[in-house]
Structure 1
Amino acid sequence: MPLNDCRIIELPKITDPRGNLTFVEGGNHIPFDIKRVYYLYDVPGGSDRGSHAHRNLHQFIIAMSGSFDIVLDDGERQRRFHLNRSYYGLYICPMMWRTLDNFSSGGVCMVLASAVYDPADYIRDHDEFMHLVHAKKGGDLNHPLETPHR
């Protein structure tokens, strides 16, 4: 999937003097059903997270508090997104290398995922990721994206 398929999605925001409310419905606001939710917090200044891709997993990432950047790489282009509002999130499609960095103090990153944790879905080596991306574009059937390459 190309980098253009990844995008910022604005979520509903119900404004109330007592406090605002935002919600996410899988299959409605985001293009997948939610099977797992996790969050990152207390990330030390100067650290980054991610630095991997997923073979089949779809994700939606929200800055619940503070801010951070997400750099996406589809094997040909890179694009940096800055998240700093809890009513916006970034949809990330499969086969997209991602790195999260530039966390503000108190930054909280919530991730909604299309599947439960599966270590076989991760690609943790950038060279392997690049090989798989170029194999898929070239039609190399010896390296299908659905099969872990070790």
Structure 2
Amino acid sequence: MRFDKRNTTGYKNVTFDHSTKKFVAKVNDGGKRVHLGCFDTAEEAATAYARSEYGRADAAKQLQPRAAPTAAGAAAILQAAREGLTLTASSNNSTGYKGVAFCPKHSGSKKYELSVWVGGKKVFLGYFATAEQAALFYARREAGRDTSDLT
């Protein structure tokens, strides 16, 4: 079960239905909503999602090995460790880091875009040379630390 800070239940693909007073597990599959069931607790709904084919596929994505980082990416990983920070992993994109997207058509050497959700709005934070540098910026931002050397 993955914990999700963006919704009130705290679990990915689990919401609370006020009309039925139940927790609902739903997923998007090819643009269609798939209802997995209604449950008395958020944990039961999260377990149902985790046991579904969708939850198992999501978990399998997290187990996929990432490509070895470049020298600059490895330096960002080491810097995060020196600062006691953890780079937040994500199975929702190809980079493997939360909020980081690869943008091959972006001009220049900085092809990794970092965006976050703030107050229901997507906020662009910048482009970076490596996914790891973007993830380090995100980790520093979340920890309330200085990010000026990465922009």
TM class by smaller structure? under 0.3
Greater helix proportion: 2
Q: Indicate the structure whose relative CO is greater, using CA pairs within 8 Å and at least 6 residues apart.
A: 1
Q: Which structure is higher in strand share?
A: 1
TM-score by length of 2: 0.26
In our comparison, the structure showing a higher alpha carbon Rg is 2
